[in-house]
C-alpha cells in the first residue's frame, strides 16, 4: 500500500478537520463577527510552535474546542498562518492577501495547543484565537472592498454528478467521527472504497483533502454550493473569486480527485519524507482541477466581472512566534 498524508489547505479550499464529534465542526466555520467582550479574551494557556519536518502519520488537523468531546482544549497540527487567520476571522482563502511563506504548510506549519474554560462559546474561542495571533505573531492587517474579476460556478447539461447529503434519521445512534483525533494527537484516517476520506454521517459540513503519493489530491466535501465555490476558488489552478450560480440548494456530498502541478513539485522534492517522495507517482493519473470539475461533477466555471468582495490584507506577521 502506498503511503499518503493529510494535506492541510486554507479554509477556502479544505483542511483536515479532525473534530471529536459532529458538533465540533462549528469550530472550523470561522467568526466574521466577534463582540468587543469576546475580543478581549485569551486562552488560559497556549503554546505555538513550528511543526518541524513532515511525517506520514497524519498529524494534521484540528481537534477539540467548543462543541466537541473535549471543549476545554484545542489541538491544531501543521496549520499555515493564512489558515489560522481564515479560521479566526471567517475569511475565505481567496479573500486573504498574504506573503508567500504564510501559505507554506511544509516549511511554515504551526502546532497550536491551547486550553480554555469548558463553557467557552465559539465566538469567545474565535476572540481568543485572534488575540493569540496578534500576541505571538504580531499580526497586523487592514480590510478593503474591491470589485474583482472571477468566475461563476455553473451546472453543465450532464450535471450534477453528485448526491445530496442525507442526515441520519436518528442522530443519537449515528456513527461517530471515524477520523477523530485521540489524545495522542494522531489522526487515524478512515477512507471509502475509492480512497476518499469519510466524514461522520451526522456531520452536516466538512472538507478534507488527501494528498497521495501518486501526486493526486482527493477532496471530500460536504456543504452547500456557495461554500464549494469558495473551495474551488482557493485552488492554485483557479486562484480567483468564484461565486455559486448552479441554482443547487441544500447540502451535498462531493468527491473530487484532481492533480495540482504545484503539489507535484512538492511531492517530488526532498521536503517530503523519502517514503513519499520516492513513491510510485503517476502524475497524470488525475486530471487538472477544471477538467475534473467537468468530468467528475458535471460543473464548470464561467468568467464573471466586477464581483464585489471584502479583502483581508495582512500587513505584517512574524515568521517565528514569540515564546510560550
pLDDT tens-digit profile of 124-172?
Answer: 999 999 999 999 999 999 999 888 778 999 999 999 999 999 987 775 5
User: Does any domain span residue 40?
Assistant: yes
Asked if the peptide bond before residue 160 counts as cis, ω within 30 degrees of 0, the response is: yes
Residue bearing the bigger pLDDT, 258 or 180: 258
pTM, full prediction: 0.64
User: Does any domain span residue 222?
Assistant: yes
Q: Could you tell me the three cell numbers for 82?
A: 493564512
Report the pLDDT value the prediction gives residue 55, as an integer from 0 to 100: 55
% residues pLDDT > 70 (the chain): 73
Radius of gyration of the chain (CA): 19
User: Does any domain span residue 324?
Assistant: no
Full DSSP string of 113-151: EEE--TT--HHHHHHHHHHHHHHHH--EEEEEEEEEEEE
Cα distance from N-terminal residue to C-terminal residue, the chain: 40
Cβ contact 248:264 at 8 Å: no
Per-residue pLDDT tens digits for 266-308: 433 333 333 333 343 444 468 899 999 999 999 999 998 888 8
User: Does any domain span residue 321?
Assistant: no
Close Cβ partners of 196 (under 8 Å, ≥ 6 residues apart): 210, 218, 219, 220, 255, 257
Report the pLDDT value the prediction gives residue 202, as an integer from 0 to 100: 74
Whole-number Å distance between alpha carbons of 288 and 27: 31
Residue bearing the bigger pLDDT, 127 or 78: 127
User: Does any domain span residue 93?
Assistant: yes
Query: What are residue 219's DSSP bridge partners?
Result: 209, 256
Give the mean pLDDT of 239-258: 92
Report the pLDDT value the prediction gives residue 134, as an integer from 0 to 100: 96
Whole-number Å distance between alpha carbons of 306 and 301: 16
Look-up of cell digits 475569511: 91
User: Does any domain span residue 73?
Assistant: yes
Report the pLDDT value the prediction gives residue 51, as an integer from 0 to 100: 86
Average pLDDT score, the chain: 77
Single out the residue of 176, 149, 162 nearest to residue 241, CA to CA.
Answer: 149
Query: What are residue 302's DSSP bridge partners?
Result: 152
- Total domains, the chain: 1
Whole-number Å distance between alpha carbons of 265 and 195: 22
- In this structure, the chain runs to a length of 324
The range of the structural domain enclosing residue 39 comes to 4-316
Per-residue pLDDT tens digits for 79-94: 889 889 988 988 877 7
User: Does any domain span residue 323?
Assistant: no
Single out the residue of 299, 55, 70 nearest to residue 177, CA to CA.
Answer: 70
User: Does any domain span residue 170?
Assistant: yes
Q: State the pLDDT confidence band at 60, using cuts at 50, 70 and 90.
A: low
Amino acid at each position: 500500500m502506498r503511503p499518503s498524508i493529510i494535506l492541510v489547505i486554507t479554509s477556502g479550499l479544505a483542511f483536515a478537520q479532525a473534530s471529536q464529534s459532529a458538533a465540533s465542526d462549528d469550530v472550523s466555520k470561522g467568526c466574521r463577527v466577534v463582540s468587543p467582550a469576546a475580543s478581549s479574551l485569551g486562552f488560559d494557556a497556549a503554546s505555538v510552535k513550528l511543526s518541524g519536518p513532515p511525517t506520514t502519520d497524519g498529524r494534521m488537523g484540528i481537534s477539540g474546542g467548543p462543541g466537541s468531546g473535549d471543549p476545554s482544549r484545542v489541538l491544531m497540527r501543521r496549520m499555515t498562518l493564512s489558515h489560522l487567520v481564515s479560521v479566526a476571522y471567517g475569511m475565505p482563502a481567496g479573500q486573504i492577501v498574504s506573503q508567500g511563506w504564510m501559505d507554506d504548510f511544509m516549511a511554515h506549519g504551526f502546532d497550536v495547543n491551547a486550553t480554555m474554560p469548558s463553557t467557552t462559546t465559539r465566538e469567545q474561542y474565535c476572540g481568543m484565537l485572534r488575540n493569540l495571533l496578534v500576541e505571538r505573531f504580531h499580526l497586523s492587517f487592514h480590510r478593503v472592498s474591491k470589485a474583482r474579476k472571477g468566475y461563476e460556478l455553473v451546472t453543465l447539461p450532464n450535471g450534477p454528478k453528485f448526491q445530496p447529503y442525507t442526515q441520519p434519521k436518528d442522530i443519537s445512534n449515528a456513527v461517530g467521527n471515524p477520523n477523530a483525533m485521540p489524545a495522542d494527537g494522531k489522526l487515524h484516517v478512515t477512507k471509502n472504497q475509492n480512497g476518499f476520506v469519510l466524514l461522520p454521517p451526522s456531520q452536516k459540513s466538512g472538507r478534507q483533502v488527501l494528498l497521495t503519493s501518486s501526486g493526486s489530491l482527493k477532496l471530500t466535501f460536504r456543504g452547500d454550493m456557495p461554500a464549494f465555490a469558495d473551495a474551488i476558488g482557493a485552488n492554485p489552478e483557479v486562484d480567483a473569486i468564484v461565486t455559486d450560480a448552479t441554482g443547487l440548494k441544500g447540502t451535498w456530498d462531493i468527491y473530487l480527485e484532481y492533480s495540482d502541478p504545484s503539489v507535484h513539485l512538492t511531492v517530488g522534492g526532498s521536503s517530503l519524507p523519502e517514503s513519499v517522495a520516492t513513491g510510485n507517482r503517476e502524475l497524470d493519473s488525475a486530471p487538472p482541477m477544471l477538467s475534473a470539475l467537468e468530468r467528475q461533477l458535471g460543473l464548470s466555471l464561467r468568467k464573471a466581472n466586477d464581483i464585489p468582495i471584502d479583502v483581508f490584507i495582512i500587513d505584517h506577521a512574524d515568521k517565528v512566534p514569540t515564546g510560550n
